[in-house]
Amino acid sequence: MIWVGLVGLVVAVCCAFLARLANTRARVMERTETLPVEEVRALHEAAAAAAGAGHFRYRCEVVGQARPHKNGALRSELENEECVWHRHKITRKYEERYRDGNGNRRRRTSTEVVSAHSSSTAFFVEDATGRLVIRPGDEEFVGAEKVLDRFDPHADGGNRLNIGPLSLDLGGGNGTLGYRREEWIVRPGSRCFVHGEASDAGGGLALGAPAEGGVFVLSVKSEEELLRSENNRVLGYGIGAGLAALAGAVLLVLGILH
């Protein structure tokens, strides 16, 4: 019972940490200005005139439609859909044998991610006042459209996937049950909300992840939707932390007394 109580306290700490993280993201978004693109450019021009190019850094938010960058729209790797951003994940499902604590042979089903990738190609967000380069890095897009979710049973010789010029070995062999393929995209013209840091450190003005760390959000959902979601997480994790702490403390005391 003591160990169960300790586990409950650990769960409480984890929930409290997640609640604090969600609260930080929500409060940072609330405090940050949502600016038209022309105002971000005006701030950059004023900073460049005063201190020279390469020194501008300003945390802000922009809202507008996603537009392909100078080389045109991307194509997603699995479904070949036109997009400005894409991500895929391929998960292998397999069965393995093991021995339990009594030495009996058992079977269990497990999964492993054999391929995961998201595009890092820059794109534009365009509003009524202009367009601004967005550098997504390895950040995921909140609310991206899921265009593929399929499980393919494993067949002999069916463990390779061609992605453009690449041929991916998915593994397989004994125990493989099949592969789940998932893909998400953001189409050109999608309305986007981006929270990050505008900077000209790379030679041109772009909005991306803060150089010194911090909140970076790419989303097809509105800021209001994101704040509602984060506040719900704060409430849910907060309640979970309180209940887990109470249960853990009671079980720990009961364990010590017995």
Predicted model pTM: 0.83
**145: its two tokens:** 């459209």
pLDDT mean over 168-180: 71
Distance CA 118, CA 109 (A): 27
Q: Is the dihedral of CA 95, 101, 105, 106 positive or negative?
A: negative
Distance CA 95, CA 92 (A): 10
Q: How far is CA 207 from CA 37, 44, 75, 89, in A?
A: 11, 12, 23, 26
What does the DSSP 8-state code read for residue 178?
E
Chain centroid to CA 19: 17
Q: How far is CA 28 from CA 23, 33, 65, 137, in A?
A: 9, 10, 23, 20
33-61: per-residue pLDDT in tens?
Answer: 999 999 999 999 998 888 777 789 999 99
Of 29, 13, 20, 18, the C-alpha closest to 196 is 29
End-to-end CA distance of the chain: 9
181-223: per-residue pLDDT in tens?
Answer: 999 999 999 999 999 999 998 788 999 999 888 899 999 999 9
pLDDT mean over 173-183: 85
Q: Is the dihedral of CA 12, 14, 20, 23 positive or negative?
A: negative
